[in-house]
Amino acid sequence: MDNKETIIQAAIALIEEKGEDLDTVTVREISKRAGVGLGLVNYHFGNKDKLIELCVERIVNSIVGQFQYIREKTQDLTAFEKLEYLGGMTFDFLFEHYTVSRISALTDMKNPKPDDNTHRTYDAYLPLVAACRPDWDEQTVKRKTYCLISIMQQTFLRYETASAILDMDLSQKENRRTWHTQILHDILEV
C-alpha cells in the first residue's frame, strides 16, 4: 500500500473511532497512525478537511454499496415496501452517523460529481420508484426520484427546522419512518 492510501486508511480508522468528534482528529494523529511524516498528509491532500471529505466519501460509499445486498434481502417485499425499508435504513444511517453524513451531503452539494454518494443513492432508488409506478414515463420516474432524494437530504440536513414545521421530532426513528412513508405516498401518488 502506498503512502497516500496508508494515510487514507489511518484517517478512516480514526474517524470511525472518534465517531461524531471529528474535530478532535488532527493531522498529527493521522500521520502518526499512518507512520508517515506530517508533511505527507498536506502534500497528498492539501489540508485535513480535504482528507476528511475523501474519507467520509469512502465510508458512505461502502454503505451505499450495500444497497444491492438490501435489494436481494428484500426480494419478497413489494416495491413500495422496499422503498420504505431502504428509506428507513438510509435515515437510520444518516442520523446514527450524523457528522459523517452531514459532511458527505454537503460535499455532494458543494462539489457534485457524477458518481458521488447522492447520485449513487438516486441510482439505488430509481428502479424501485419505477417499479412502484410502471405507468409513469422515464422522465417522470427520474423527476420523482430526484424529488424524493432531495426531500430526504433536506429533511436530514435541516431536521431541527423540519421537526418544528412538521410538529414531529425527526431525531426519533419511528417519526422518521412515518415521515418517509408519508413522503412516499405523496410523491408516488399512491
Least confident of 48-52, 68-72, 162-166: 68-72
Identify the top-confidence range among 24-33, 60-69, 101-110, 161-170. Answer: 161-170
Q: Which band of pLDDT confidence, cut at 50, 70 and 90, is reported for residue 71?
A: low
- Considering the chain, what is the average pLDDT of its residues? 89
Q: What is the DSSP letter of 113?
A: -
Looking at residue 68, its pLDDT comes to 62
pLDDT at 37 over 80: yes
Q: What whole-number distance in Å separates Cα of residue 174 and Cα of residue 46?
A: 42
Q: Please choose, from the candidates 29, 38, 37, 36, the residue with its C-alpha nearest in 3D space to the C-alpha of residue 11.
A: 29
Q: Which band of pLDDT confidence, cut at 50, 70 and 90, is reported for residue 29?
A: very high
pLDDT tens digit sequence for 122-147: 988 999 999 999 999 999 999 999 99
Is there a contact between 176 and 91 (Cβ–Cβ < 8 Å)?
A: yes
Q: What's the average model confidence in pLDDT over 28-41?
A: 91
pTM of the model: 0.79
pLDDT tens digit sequence for 92-104: 888 988 888 888 8
Q: Which band of pLDDT confidence, cut at 50, 70 and 90, is reported for residue 171?
A: very high
Q: What whole-number distance in Å separates Cα of residue 162 and Cα of residue 170?
A: 8
Higher per-residue pLDDT: 61 or 8: 8
Which segments of the chain does DSSP mark as H helices, in order?
3-18, 27-34, 38-45, 48-64, 67-73, 79-96, 98-110, 117-132, 138-157, 159-166, 173-188
Helices 48-64 and 3-18 cross at an angle (nearest 10°) of 80
